[in-house]
């Protein structure tokens, strides 16, 4: 395919005319399509319908006899649920506290504890400091950034490459003692789709930080959300906790995950995993925050997905629904956009998003044009602190919730918008 940059003036004019006609034709169709919503489709939700019948009456007891219908003042919940998450995280069961329906909430609570009480006894509460800075690999999860912003945390952007953020850049930034942490989705990133390489994880675990209470918020939301069953087509994420222990920084990382995109988002269970000291401190504060998390819902999930093999089989069924959508979109991006020289993307092997990087200065215009043609995309810039993408390039595509049969039209619209915006940019 000839690159747009190589078009003659005549070819450009012809192309613009063609695109204008496509644009008008889509406008006339009054489409109302959406590629912005990072949530499972109805078909995926159906996979978990059996949850509504669990646990069965009479089967409401934990393995230690705990009646999950009643209070039991142990905020750490059922041992079998701690083991279940421990196996997913790759840490011992006693380094896990299962939470409620939201890992975001567990993250917010961990930040709140750091601000009010300090990350561990002996450290100054961050709320009493003049300045707190966090490293934010971009593009990243918008809710992370909004949350940090509310806490008044200054966000230092670091670009995400094919292997994650640049270790050299991060090593430099953590020399500033005001840099207290980093927040990231290290596997199948939202929206980068990138999984941090072993070298990146090793750097994060080993590097010396000026702040002794430096914390990595490791939001491993897509730990089992592979798009492919074949092991060689999956990303692998190194166990950062093991590495932190090896380098003598075991308190550095706070790991989070949830079942949100395994079962019913918003009605699932979540967990934090961390070092003995971090878990002990979390437990100390959480103990008086609530009697315990919803153990009936913990049991409900364990009955539905009793072990790692069950999780694996269940996630494979999700993948079977998601994969064709991802592959269709990636194919169109590759054939009609990348080959035309109008951008690039990292083909994700899991997770919920494809991040397309348009020519600099085009993202907002592309999203705007798509909107005019009846296709809603995530606002350009949303994946950056303060909603500003300095290059105005990244666009988050979320294939999961859209109907499979709508995606071809959506992508025709998208290609039209990308070509229109790119030509506008190149000819201005």
- Contact footprint for its own copies (CB under 8 A): 39-40, 42, 45, 48-49, 52-53, 55-57, 60, 67-72, 100-102, 104-105, 108-109, 112, 115-117, 125, 127-128, 143, 146-147, 150-151, 260, 264-267, 284-285, 288-297
The least distance separating its own copies from the CB of residue 419, rounded to whole angstroms, comes to: 32
The least distance separating its own copies from the CB of residue 101, rounded to whole angstroms, comes to: 4
The least distance separating its own copies from the CB of residue 41, rounded to whole angstroms, comes to: 9
Tokens found for residue 170: 């991060």
In the chain, % helix, strand, coil (3-state, to 5) comes to 45, 15, 40
SS3 288: helix
Q: Which residue number, 32 or 288, has a Cβ lying nearer to its own copies?
A: 288
Q: What are phi and psi of 405, to 5 degrees?
A: -75, -20
Q: Which residue number, 100 or 351, has a Cβ lying nearer to its own copies?
A: 100
Q: Which residue number, 24 or 59, has a Cβ lying nearer to its own copies?
A: 59
Each as own residue / partner, the long-range contacts of residues 61-70 (CB below 8 Å, 24 or more positions apart, any chain) are 62/295, 62/299, 66/295, 68/295, 68/296, 68/298, 68/299, 69/296
| 389 vs 260: CA distance, rounded Å | 28
**HEC readout, 230-272:** CHHHCCCCCCHHHHHHHCCCCCCEEEEEECCCCCCCCCCCEEE
| 366 vs 417: CA distance, rounded Å | 5
Tokens found for residue 213: 């209470």
The least distance separating its own copies from the CB of residue 272, rounded to whole angstroms, comes to: 14
Q: Which residue number, 73 or 231, has a Cβ lying nearer to its own copies?
A: 73
Q: Which residue number, 118 or 374, has a Cβ lying nearer to its own copies?
A: 118
Q: Which residue number, 143 or 228, has a Cβ lying nearer to its own copies?
A: 143
The least distance separating its own copies from the CB of residue 356, rounded to whole angstroms, comes to: 23
Q: What are phi and psi of 298, to 5 degrees?
A: -65, -50
Going from the C-alpha of 397 to that of each of 206, 376, 414, the distances in angstroms are 34, 10, 10
The least distance separating its own copies from the CB of residue 52, rounded to whole angstroms, comes to: 5
Q: Where are the beta strands (DSSP E) in 297-392?
A: 343-345, 354-358, 375-376
Q: Which residue number, 295 or 346, has a Cβ lying nearer to its own copies?
A: 295
The least distance separating its own copies from the CB of residue 86, rounded to whole angstroms, comes to: 22
Tokens found for residue 138: 């971009």
Residue from 186, 205, 280 nearest 246 by CA: 205
Place of tokens 């230690």: 64
Residue from 46, 83, 68 nearest 298 by CA: 68
SS3 182: strand
| Phi-psi map region of 200: left, alpha, beta (phi>0 left; psi -120 to 50 alpha) | alpha
Tokens found for residue 403: 């109907």
Q: Which residue number, 290 or 310, has a Cβ lying nearer to its own copies?
A: 290
The least distance separating its own copies from the CB of residue 155, rounded to whole angstroms, comes to: 14
Q: Which residue number, 69 or 308, has a Cβ lying nearer to its own copies?
A: 69
Burial of 38 per CB tally in 10 Å (0-12, 13-18, 19+) = buried
Q: Which residue number, 43 or 426, has a Cβ lying nearer to its own copies?
A: 43
The least distance separating its own copies from the CB of residue 71, rounded to whole angstroms, comes to: 4
The least distance separating its own copies from the CB of residue 92, rounded to whole angstroms, comes to: 25
> Is the preceding omega at residue 391 within 30 degrees of 0, hence cis?
no
The alpha carbon of 378 is separated from its chain's Cα centroid by a whole number of angstroms, namely 14
Q: Which residue number, 104 or 413, has a Cβ lying nearer to its own copies?
A: 104
The least distance separating its own copies from the CB of residue 242, rounded to whole angstroms, comes to: 29
């Amino acid at each position: 395919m000839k690159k747009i940059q190589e078009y003659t003036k005549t070819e450009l004019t012809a192309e613009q005319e063609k695109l204008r006609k496509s644009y008008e034709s889509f406008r006339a169709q009054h489409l109302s399509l959406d590629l912005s919503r990072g949530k499972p489709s109805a078909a995926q939700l159906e996979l978990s319908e059996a949850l509504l019948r669990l646990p069965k009456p009479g089967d409401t007891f934990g393995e230690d006899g705990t009646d999950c219908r009643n209070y039991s003042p142990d905020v750490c919940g059922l041992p079998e649920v701690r083991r279940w998450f421990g196996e997913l995280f790759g840490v011992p069961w006693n380094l896990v506290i299962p939470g409620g329906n939201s890992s975001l909430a567990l993250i917010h609570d961990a930040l709140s504890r750091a601000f009010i009480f300090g990350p561990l006894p002996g450290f100054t509460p961050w709320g009493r400091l003049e300045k707190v800075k966090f490293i934010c690999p971009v593009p990243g999860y918008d809710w992370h950034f909004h949350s940090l912003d509310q806490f008044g945390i200054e966000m230092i952007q670091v670009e995400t490459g094919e292997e994650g953020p640049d270790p050299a850049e991060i090593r430099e930034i953590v020399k500033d003692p005001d840099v207290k942490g980093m927040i990231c989705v290290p596997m199948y990133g939202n929206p980068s789709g990138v999984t941090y390489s072993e070298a990146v994880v090793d750097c994060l675990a080993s590097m010396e930080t000026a702040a002794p209470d430096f914390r990595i918020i490791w939001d491993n939301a897509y730990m089992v959300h592979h798009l492919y069953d074949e092991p060689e087509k999956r990303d692998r994420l190194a166990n950062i906790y093991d590495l932190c222990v090896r380098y003598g920084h075991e308190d550095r990382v706070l790991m989070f995950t949830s079942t949100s995109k395994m079962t019913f988002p918003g009605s699932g269970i979540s967990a934090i995993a961390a070092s003995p000291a971090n878990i002990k401190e979390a437990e100390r504060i959480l103990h008086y925050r609530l009697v315990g998390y919803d153990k009936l819902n913990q049991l409900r999930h364990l009955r539905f997905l009793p072990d790692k093999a069950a999780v694996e089989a269940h996630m494979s069924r999700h993948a079977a629904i998601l994969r064709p959508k991802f592959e269709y979109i990636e194919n169109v991006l590759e054939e009609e956009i990348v080959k035309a020289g109008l951008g690039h993307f990292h083909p994700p092997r899991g997770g919920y998003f494809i991040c397309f990087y348009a020519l600099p200065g085009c993202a907002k215009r592309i999203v705007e044009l798509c909107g005019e043609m009846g296709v809603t995309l995530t606002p350009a810039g949303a994946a950056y602190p303060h909603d500003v993408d300095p290059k105005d390039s990244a666009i988050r595509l979320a294939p999961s919730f859209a109907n499979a049969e709508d995606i071809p039209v959506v992508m025709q619209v998208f290609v039209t918008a990308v070509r229109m915006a790119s030509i506008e940019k190149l000819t201005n």
